[in-house]
Every structure is written in C-alpha cells, then in structure tokens.
C-alpha cells in the first residue's frame, strides 16, 4: 500500500479563519468611514466659519453706511435750519434797526477818533507855540496859518468821513433793494407755483 495522505485543515478551523478575516474587513471599513466623517465635519466647520465671518463683515459695512447716511442727513438738516433762521432774522425790522445802529456806532467811533486826533494836534500846536514863543522870527500869521492848515485837514477828514458815511448808506440801500427784489422774485415765483396747480384744476 502507498504512503498515507496528510490530513487537511479541519472544517472548524476553516470557519474560524473566515470569521476572523470578515471581522478584520468590517473593522477597517468602519475606520475608513470614521476618517471620512471627520474630514467632512472639518470642511463643514471651515465653510460655516467663513460664512459667519462674511455675514459679520456685511453687517458692519451696512452699519457704517447707515451711520454715514445719518451723519449726512444731520448736516443737511442743520444747514437748512441755519439758513431758515438767518432768513427769518433778516426779514424782521429789528435786523434793519440793529444794522443801522451798528452803522451809527461805527460812524460815531470814526468821529471820536477824528476828535481825538484834532485834540492831540491842538495840544501839539500849543506846545509848539509855547516852545517857540521866544522865537521872534515866528510871527502870529505863521501860527494862524498852521492852525488853519490843521483845521483844513480836520475839515478834509470830516468830509471824507461824511463821504464814507454816505457811501455806506448807499451800499446799505443797494443791499436792501437787492434783498427786496430777491424777496419779490421769490414771492412771485411762489405765487406762480401756487397758481399753476389751480389753473390745472380749472382746465
């Protein structure tokens, strides 16, 4: 008889090996799934972070734009209010009275300065006369000529002051006339605007 054949693995051993290989494959599959899940979660967090940052930047830009518009609106309102109050002030008789008072005060100040200058000139002339009274060569006519010359200069200054006063009054009158014409034009324009819709309704 020939040599006996070596026996193969038992059926139980083959089954155990198959089960072990199956468990190993399932474990590796679960590990790969968890790895993919972690990568997907990280990408989602990055996208969420970027979206939140963009949202905050957009909200900040919107807030800054709103603040800028509000500031510009405040400036416009303040300018309009200032113009309105100035116009109301200029339309009152008190404004013209105050302007005339200021002009009178200015003219009074000019005349006072001229009076002071005349007084100083007079004192200087007296001092000069006292210093030169022993000078026989200086005659009374020369002194009178000096006085007349100073009086003439004083008269010239007064004349210039009066001319300046007249010029200022004329300029103020021109300004009032211009202001009145502007008001008349504005009133006529307003009347035309008010009559326009009325004519449209009648038509």
What's the whole-number average pLDDT of the chain? 81
**9/14 Cα distance (integer angstroms):** 7
φ, ψ of residue 193 in degrees (nearest 5): -65, -35
pLDDT above 90 coverage of the chain, percent:
6
Q: Residue written as tokens 């303040």?
A: 78
Q: Give the model's confidence band at 201: pLDDT under 50 very low, under 70 low, under 90 confident, else very high.
A: very low
Supply the pTM of this predicted model: 0.26
| Structure confidence at residue 40 (pLDDT) | 66
Lowest mean pLDDT among 75-79, 107-111, 144-148, 182-186: 144-148
**So what's the pLDDT on residue 120?**
92
């Amino acid at each position: 008889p020939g040599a006996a054949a070596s026996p193969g693995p038992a059926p139980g051993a083959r089954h155990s090996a198959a089960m072990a290989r199956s468990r190993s494959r399932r474990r590796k599959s679960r590990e790969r799934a968890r790895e993919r899940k972690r990568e997907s979660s990280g990408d989602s967090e990055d996208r969420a972070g970027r979206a939140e940052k963009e949202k905050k930047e957009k909200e900040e830009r919107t807030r800054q734009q709103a603040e800028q518009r509000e500031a510009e609106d405040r400036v416009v309102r303040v300018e309009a209010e200032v113009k309105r109050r100035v116009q109301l002030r200029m339309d009152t008789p008190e404004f013209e009275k105050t302007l005339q008072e200021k002009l009178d005060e200015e003219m009074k100040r000019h005349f006072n300065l001229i009076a002071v200058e005349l007084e100083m000139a007079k004192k200087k002339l007296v001092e000069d006369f006292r210093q030169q009274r022993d000078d026989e060569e200086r005659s009374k006519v020369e002194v009178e000529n000096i006085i007349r010359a100073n009086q003439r200069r004083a008269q010239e200054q007064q004349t210039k002051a009066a001319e300046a006063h007249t010029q200022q009054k004329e300029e103020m009158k021109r300004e009032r006339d211009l202001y009145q014409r502007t008001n008349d034009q504005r009133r006529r324009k307003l009347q035309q605007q008010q009559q326009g819709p009325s004519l449209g309704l009648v038509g």
